[in-house]
Amino acid sequence: MRIIKHLSLALLLVGLTFAGCKKDNQLNPATKSDGQSMSKTTKQLLAFRNNLMLKSGGSMPMDSATWYLEGLLNYENANNDHQFDGLEFFHDTLLMSCTGSSLSMAELNDAYDYLTAKINSIAQTQSIPDFAFDAIDISIEKSGLNNSETKVTMALGGGSAAIGGYVAFGITDYWNWGLGGGKCDVYAGQGGNSDAAQQLNYKFNHPMGMPRPGYFTDIIPIDANYWEYPDPSNPGPYCDNKIFHFNAGNTGIWPCLAPNELNYYLSTLSYIIINEKPTEPSGLSYSNVSVTAWFPPDFTNNYFHVYTLRYGIFHQPD
């Protein structure tokens, strides 16, 4: 199960205790064999789907249920070619009334039906051409509020599939660090509700390389934080890290990121992807990254970005 604390930002910020946490690297035992073929994984997922439809008896412990449900949803819905233009992230949570540490096949079928309907609803409301999902991350755990409830959480990324690479920021790309502040410096008032975090998110998820059709299982989200990546070569002037951070103190300065600093962050992502990749289990591949802008209301005027990188076992189509 995952032990990751996902942070959320509302329009009106609330107090938070920030900690970059990692997901436990637990796999369904069936995936640990070095000799496992891709087709075997697909067959396992399809057999699980048949059992769901039949609502057969029996139950599954939560870690196995997570693996199978996540893998099946990715197999059916994720059109991963590793090239996404305008990748966005969506979240949903289902509370189920069930006790114990296992889920029955009937309960899993209810969760599957609910999440599938949610995925379809998200896809149908998108105006993006050729919208597709990249990777679907599932967590199943007790709700923490009521021992008779189980919480099924889904995080998924989707966008318009596109072939391309990192496109450098141009001479007019002066962006407020976050909170939809638009452009800044002499370009203030332009850029709509976008910001530096959103611009980086867009470019990070539009990488160079050939498409890779297939899907992911065993998705592990990992938060990368600025304090983990010191680097005095950052062109700044705001920080000496590979991930943006600025402590404004009492200066009242609202950080405006210039093109050279934004291009610097483009250049450091590959290092962060390699550094954050879990060593266990083996066989994990990088899937995508989301960038979040944070401004904790602790009156210290700290502004920073957090990268949530996702890794999983990549399966080519049969």
List pLDDT tens digits, range 261-285: 998 898 899 889 989 999 888 889 9
Domain count, the chain: 2
Residue 309 pLDDT level (bands cut at 50, 70, 90)? very high
- Judged by average pLDDT, the poorest of 5-9, 68-72, 263-267 is 5-9
Could you tell me if residue 240 is inside a domain?
A: yes
Asked whether the predicted pLDDT for residue 40 surpasses 60, the reply is: yes
Q: What angle do CA 211, 215, 220 make, to 5 degrees?
A: 110
Give the end of a domain, one of 162, 178, 194: 162
Distance CA 103, CA 65 (A): 7
Same domain for 158 and 206? Answer: no
| DSSP-H helix ranges across 205-303 | 259-276
Distance CA 279, CA 112 (A): 30
The more confident residue out of 213 and 256 is: 256
Asked whether the predicted pLDDT for residue 9 surpasses 70, the reply is: no
Contact 158, 122 (CB under 8 A): yes
Contact 31, 313 (CB under 8 A): yes
Asked whether the predicted pLDDT for residue 83 surpasses 70, the reply is: no
Could you tell me if residue 29 is inside a domain?
A: no
For residue 237, cis peptide bond before it (omega within 30 degrees of 0): yes
Same domain for 210 and 274? Answer: yes
Same domain for 69 and 97? Answer: yes
Same domain for 151 and 170? Answer: no
Same domain for 152 and 192? Answer: no
Give the end of a domain, one of 130, 162, 194: 162
Burial of 23: CB neighbours in 10 Å, binned 0-12, 13-18, 19+: buried
Same domain for 193 and 312? Answer: yes
Asked whether the predicted pLDDT for residue 143 surpasses 80, the reply is: no
Q: What is the mean pLDDT of residues 173-190?
A: 95
Give the end of a domain, one of 162, 191, 208: 162
Same domain for 2 and 136? Answer: yes
Q: What is the mean pLDDT of residues 308-317?
A: 91
Range of the domain at 187: 164-318
Asked whether the predicted pLDDT for residue 20 surpasses 80, the reply is: no
Distance CA 288, CA 87 (A): 9
Same domain for 214 and 294? Answer: yes
Residue 7 pLDDT level (bands cut at 50, 70, 90)? very low
| DSSP-H helix ranges across 55-166 | 62-77, 105-124
Residue 167 pLDDT level (bands cut at 50, 70, 90)? low
Q: What is the mean pLDDT of residues 94-105?
A: 83
pLDDT of residue 116: 93
Same domain for 215 and 300? Answer: yes
